Amino acid sequence: MDPRIFQKLSNYEQHRLLEELDEAAVHHQDWLDAVNRALLCGPLGNGEDLSRLSADQCQMGRWIYGVDEPRISGKSTFTELGRLHQEVHQIAALLLERRQAGDILTHDHYNTLVQASVELRRGIRRIQADLKGDLAISGRLLAKLFENAAEGVVVISSDMRILHVNHAFSQLTGYSEREVQGSAPDLLYGERSDIEFYEELWINVRNRGLWQGELANRRRNGERFLEHLSIYAITDEVGEIGHYLAIFADISHQRESEDRLYRLAHFDPVTGLPNRMLFQDRLRQEIAHARRHRVRAAILYLDLDDFKGINERFGREVGDLLLERLTKRLESLLRSSDSIGRFGGDEFLILVELTNEGDYQVVADKVLAELSRPFELNGRQVSVTGSVGISLFPTHSSDDQELIRYADLAMYRAKIGGKNGYRLYASEAAEAAE
């Protein structure tokens, strides 16, 4: 990497190091906020051990340890910043370990971390003021930061040709600098057909000086990955764009983790159906839609008869397999406008949009018919029956929680009436009259 490339980026040469420090300070504050939450509330739900992030591994630490320019690293403000940063990490690690061990932390313990954090922020402000006051950033230093950055960095000419990439870029994409030099940035576009999007992106960069967002990229081997991308327009003294600087990070694993957490929170792990929380949320939306468009709907509350006996006789594995197979059968009965969720151990809720008043009876008959067919599970035939309770919108109620409760009551009455059947909700007065 030729350090002279940075000497051409006049505005970037003056401000980039400060921008990196500002960004590192923000990330450090986010880390500190997470530490405080862990101290107050216990370990994070994502399993992250904050105490194991050493001072040289965080973004602030990479900034500090990546600076080898004597005019900067020799400053007393810089040395003091490194000491304060190390101290904050040491105190945080000690408190987190004590918290995890079950020790009771006092106000004085928290105050120690607060005071160290205040001193660190002061140290950051001092070095920022020092750099702004008299620091002339060298091309060699910037090249060092460029090469040591954890994110992929691409320097692009004003006529849209790739000039330089850093080591992280090659690791993330699989392309060497030699392979991409002179190529247009569209070499890396994840969706070549979305030309209008990229045209709009570059118009924004030229007009506003910056674009940031998430988009799909692709590696040399064709593998797609999700990235967070920032593109900066680098101008000269007269405001003309001389270069573009693109900085990106692979966030595929982060997004996959978020998706897994979302599925764990909203979907049943055995059947893959929406769980109680997600189904109730969808039910509220569907009821609101039905109310606006004056559409009728039915809720079918299905409870398997003696499912506990199946688990006891054949084992939990067979019971789970039965629920999986039953889910596939139920889904095959429903239209795209209908919804189904697993509400409990052996309970399912089905929301059906009604075209005709008797549609709920047709669906209930189909559900019971599917249950009547034996299930082939691990080489043995298993039979099961079910009881179904039904409530109607808006006949019985316009409230989603009441509709669920009424369907539950109707299901209970179907069970005490002999099981293996369905019952439409009726008020206690109506039941007594019958």
CATH number for the domain that contains residue 54: 1.20.120
Same domain, 207 and 300: no
Same domain, 163 and 243: yes
Q: What is the CATH number of the domain that holds 251?
A: 3.30.450.20
Same domain, 200 and 298: no
Of the candidates 141, 165, 142, which has an alpha carbon nearest to the alpha carbon of residue 153? 165
- Among 128, 146, 164, which residue terminates a domain? 146
CA–CA distance, 181 with 168 (Å, rounded to integer): 15
Q: What integer pLDDT is reported at residue 190 of this predicted model?
A: 60
Instruction: Judge whether 384 and 307 are in contact, CB under 8 Å.
Output: yes
3-state secondary structure of 183: coil
Same domain, 198 and 304: no
What are the C-alpha distances in Å from 200 to residues 189, 195, 211, 225, 310? 14, 9, 10, 21, 60
- Among 79, 114, 146, which residue terminates a domain? 146
- The tally of domains found in the chain comes to 3
Same domain, 257 and 274: no
- Among 242, 263, 284, which residue terminates a domain? 263
Same domain, 363 and 214: no
Of the candidates 187, 82, 164, which has an alpha carbon nearest to the alpha carbon of residue 127? 82
> How does pLDDT run across 293-318, given as a tens digit for each residue?
888 999 999 999 989 888 888 888 99
> How does pLDDT run across 243-285, given as a tens digit for each residue?
898 888 888 888 888 778 888 888 998 999 999 889 999 899 9
Instruction: Judge whether 386 and 367 are in contact, CB under 8 Å.
Output: yes
- Neighbour tally for 315: CB within 10 Å: 12
Same domain, 115 and 48: yes
* Range of the structural domain that residue 345 is part of: 267-433
3-state secondary structure of 55: coil
What are the C-alpha distances in Å from 5 to residues 160, 193, 239, 242, 302? 16, 33, 18, 11, 69
> How does pLDDT run across 151-169, given as a tens digit for each residue?
888 889 889 999 888 888 9
